[in-house]
Amino acid sequence: MKTSELRTKDVAGLEKEVGDLLKAHFGLRMQKATQQLSNHTQLGNTRRDIARAKTILAEKKKAAAK
């Protein structure tokens, strides 16, 4: 997911997005453990998407606290 797409969302939307990404990452980890995952780059991409969403969420929360 692109940063510009994440920046258009509000705090609740970002929290939901982080939750969805965490569930997706868990599913990919389970597929890897059972050797059903064919594209291993999905794990890294999902992990980076989670970090990106959490960073923007923290920025928005910090801006709202001011």
Q: Which amino acid is at 7?
A: R
Instruction: Give 41-66 pLDDT, tens digit per residue.
Output: 999 999 999 999 999 999 999 998 88
Domain boundary assignment for the chain: 3-61
Q: What is the pTM of this model?
A: 0.91
The torsion angles phi and psi of 34, rounded to 5 degrees, stand at: -95, 10
What is the second-level CATH architecture of the domain 3-61?
Answer: Orthogonal Bundle (1.10)
- Supply the DSSP string of 13-49, one letter for each residue: HHHHHHHHHHHHHHHHHHHHHTT--S-THHHHHHHHH
Return all residues near 60 (Cβ < 8 A) that are at least 6 apart. Answer: 10, 11, 14
Question: What is the per-residue pLDDT across 11-29, written as a single tens digit (0 to 9) for each?
Answer: 999 999 999 999 999 999 9
